[in-house]
Structure 1
Amino acid sequence: MANKPSTTGLAVPSKRLSRLWHMGRATTDFASGIGLRGMIELARSREGDGQRISLSPQATQRLTNRLARMRGAVMKMGQLMSMDGSDVFTPEAAEIMATLRDRAEPMPLSQLNRVLTAEWGKDWNKQFKRFEFQPIAAASIGQVHRAETRDGRRLALKVQFPGVRESIDSDIANLGFLSRNFGMMPEGFDPAPMLEEARLQLHEEADYEAEAASLRAYRALIGDDPDFLVPAVHPDLSTSRILAMDFAEGVSVERLSASDFSRGERNRVASLLSRLMIRELFEFALVQTDPNFGNFLYDADSRRIVLLDFGATRAVSPDLIEGYRALARATLANDQAGMRQGAVALGYIGDDVPAEQAARLIDLISLSGEVITSEGPYDFGSSTLFERVFARGRDMFQDKQFSHMPEPATMFLQRKFAGIFMLCRRLRAEVDLRAMLEPYLLDASAHSGVD
Structure 2
Amino acid sequence: MAKPASTPGRRFLKLAGMTASIATKTVSHSLRNLTADEEQKNAARSKMFQDIGVQIAETLGDMKGAVMKVGQIASQYKDIFPPEVSKAIAKLQRQAPPMPFKQIKLQVEKELGKSLDQLFQHFDETPFAAASIGQVHKAILKNGEQVVVKVQYPGVEEACESDLKQVRLALRLMGVLKIERKLQDRLFKEIQDSLDNELNYEIEAQNLQVARTFHQQLDPKIIIPQVYTEYSSRHVLTLSLEQGDSIETASTWSQATRNELGRRLLRAIGQEIFYLKRFHCDPHPGNFAFREDGSVLIYDYGGVKTLSTEVVENFKALVHAARAQDFATMEDYLVRLNSLAETGKFPTDLYTAWVEIFTRPLTTHYDFAANSSHHDAMELVKPSLKYWDLFKPSPDTLMVNRTISGQYWNLINLKVHDNLNDVFDELVPPRA
Report the TM-score, using the length of structure 2 for normalisation. Answer: 0.78
Q: Tell me the equivalent position of 1:116.
A: 108
Report the CA distance shift for 1:234/1:192 in structure 2 as closer, same or farther (over 3 A).
same
Q: Tell me the equivalent position of 1:52.
A: none
Pairing 1:266–2:258 present: yes
Pairing 1:355–2:348 present: no
Correspondence 1:342-421 to 2 at 5 A: 342-350=333-341, 353=342, 355-356=344-345, 359=346, 363=350, 367=354, 370-373=357-360, 375-383=363-371, 385-386=373-374, 401=389, 404=392, 406=394, 408-421=395-408
Q: 1:147 aligns with which of 120, 135, 139?
A: 139
Structure 2: gaps (5+ residues): 24-38, 44-49, 78-82
Report the CA distance shift for 1:63/1:361 in structure 2 as closer, same or farther (over 3 A).
farther
Structure 1: gaps (5+ residues): 1-7, 29-39, 45-54, 447-451
Correspondence 1:129-278 to 2 at 5 A: 129-186=121-178, 188=180, 190-223=183-216, 225-257=219-251, 260-278=252-270
> C-alpha displacement at 1:306, in angstroms?
1.3
SS in 2 for 1:251: coil
Correspondence 1:40-79 to 2 at 5 A: 63=57, 67=61, 69-72=63-66, 74-75=68-69, 77-78=71-72
Pairing 1:319–2:306 present: no
Report the CA distance shift for 1:251/1:72 in structure 2 as closer, same or farther (over 3 A).
farther
Greater helix proportion: 2
Q: Tell me the equivalent position of 1:104.
A: 96
Report the CA distance shift for 1:354/1:316 in structure 2 as closer, same or farther (over 3 A).
closer
Q: 1:17 aligns with which of 12, 20, 38?
A: 12
Report the CA distance shift for 1:250/1:74 in structure 2 as closer, same or farther (over 3 A).
same
Report the CA distance shift for 1:389/1:206 in structure 2 as closer, same or farther (over 3 A).
farther
Deviations along 1:387-406, whole A, 9 cap, x unmatched? 66578779978877157552
RMSD: 4.0
Q: Tell me the equivalent position of 1:36.
A: none
Letter aligned with residue 116 of structure 1: V
SS in 1 for 2:257: helix
SS in 2 for 1:355: coil
> C-alpha displacement at 1:24, in angstroms?
6.1
> C-alpha displacement at 1:165, in angstroms?
1.9
Report the CA distance shift for 1:402/1:74 in structure 2 as closer, same or farther (over 3 A).
farther
Deviations along 1:288-317, whole A, 9 cap, x unmatched? 1111211111234x4421111111223321
Cα pair 2:229 2:238 within 8 Å, conserved: yes
> C-alpha displacement at 1:217, in angstroms?
0.9
Letter aligned with residue 325 of structure 1: K
Of the structure 1 ranges 319-328 and 124-133, higher mean CA displacement relative to structure 2 is found in 124-133
Pairing 1:306–2:300 present: no
Q: 1:437 aligns with which of 409, 424, 429?
A: 424
Supply the distance in 1 between the matched residues of 2:303 and 2:410 (Cα, whole angstroms).
18
> C-alpha displacement at 1:152, in angstroms?
1.2
Supply the distance in 1 between the matched residues of 2:224 and 2:208 (Cα, whole angstroms).
8
Letter aligned with residue 252 of structure 1: S
Pairing 1:128–2:123 present: no
> C-alpha displacement at 1:203, in angstroms?
0.2
Letter aligned with residue 245 of structure 2: V
Supply the distance in 1 between the matched residues of 2:116 and 2:256 (Cα, whole angstroms).
46
> C-alpha displacement at 1:144, in angstroms?
0.7
> C-alpha displacement at 1:435, in angstroms?
2.8
Percent identical across equivalent pairs? Answer: 23
Supply the distance in 2 between the matched residues of 1:227 and 1:211 (Cα, whole angstroms).
21
Report the TM-score, using the length of structure 1 for normalisation. Answer: 0.75
Correspondence 1:321-336 to 2 at 5 A: 321-336=312-327
Deviations along 1:27-79, whole A, 9 cap, x unmatched? 99xxxxxxxxxxx99x67xxxxxxxxxx9xxx989957952642435346447
> C-alpha displacement at 1:98, in angstroms?
9.1
Of the structure 1 ranges 131-140 and 110-119, higher mean CA displacement relative to structure 2 is found in 110-119
Of the structure 1 ranges 418-427 and 397-406, higher mean CA displacement relative to structure 2 is found in 397-406
- Alignment size in residue pairs: 400
SS in 1 for 2:359: helix
Q: Tell me the equivalent position of 2:30.
A: none
